Amino acid sequence: KQEVTQIPAALSVPEGENLVLNCSFTDSAIYNLQWFRQDPGKGLTSLLLIQSSQREQTSGRLNASLDKSSGRSTLYIAASQPGDSATYLCAVEGGQGAQKLVFGQGTRLTINP
Amino acid sequence: GAGVSQTPSNKVTEKGKYVELRCDPISGHTALYWYRQSLGQGPEFLIYFQGTGAADDSGLPNDRFFAVRPEGSVSTLKIQRTERGDSAVYLCASSPSGSTDTQYFGPGTRLTVL
């Protein structure tokens, strides 16, 4: 059974810092990995999707990497801003025809002005 | 274009009652998913539809939970004899065709069972 773990559970940093969020998964047979953002009381917004054949994806100040063999992904946020404050969720889509996403518990990020 | 919409946004019910939660996916998306998110946790998969059929319902916790998508568009999640432990946010997502596609999530329905 696929399990996804995110470390740390919560992170608070001053504005302007670069930061890294970590995600690990137990079964390397995945189709893709996604990073989502969730604001309080809201749904999920997809930030980046990395296909299993890819190593990384970039969007603006965000960079996500994937090391499938070791079961790890990182989300790098450059020059953090208070508007980046949210919960960040990592999810993997399994192989063998499994379409469902398996999520980690999230990292709650606070950027202090 | 319009995103995924869910109604109601909030639902408060009493233990033992029946509830229905509705999801309107993005137009043209054939794949539709239901997830449940408890406080402080990531979403957990419930069921996946490809068109009108449930392709994977392995996440439904028991037979009190049922979902339909009769015309391949709108889906309804039905919960019978609700229990306090069913309280959570129920999220719906859709994607163009399924595998390897980005899933687009709705805002969720917050269900509270008193």
Planar angle of CA A102, B42, B101, nearest 5 degrees: 45
Which tokens sit at A99? 């379409």
As a whole number of angstroms, the distance between CA A54 and CA A96 comes to: 19
DSSP three-state, residue A86: strand
Q: Residue B46's closest chain A neighbor by CA?
A: A100
Q: Which residues of B touch A49 (CB under 8 A)?
A: 102
Distant-in-sequence, close-in-space partners of B63: CB < 8 Å, separation ≥ 6: none
pLDDT digits (tens, 9 = 90+) for A70-101: 999 999 999 999 999 999 999 998 765 567 89
pLDDT digits (tens, 9 = 90+) for A2-58: 999 999 999 999 999 999 999 999 999 898 999 999 998 888 999 999 998 999 999
- Mean pLDDT per 10-residue section of chain B, whose length is 114 residues: 90 97 95 94 94 92 96 96 97 84 91 97
- Identify the pLDDT of residue B98: 67
As a whole number of angstroms, the distance between CA A10 and CA A14 comes to: 14
Q: Which residues of A touch B100 (CB under 8 A)?
A: 31-32, 51, 93
Give the residue carrying structure tokens 């606070």: A110
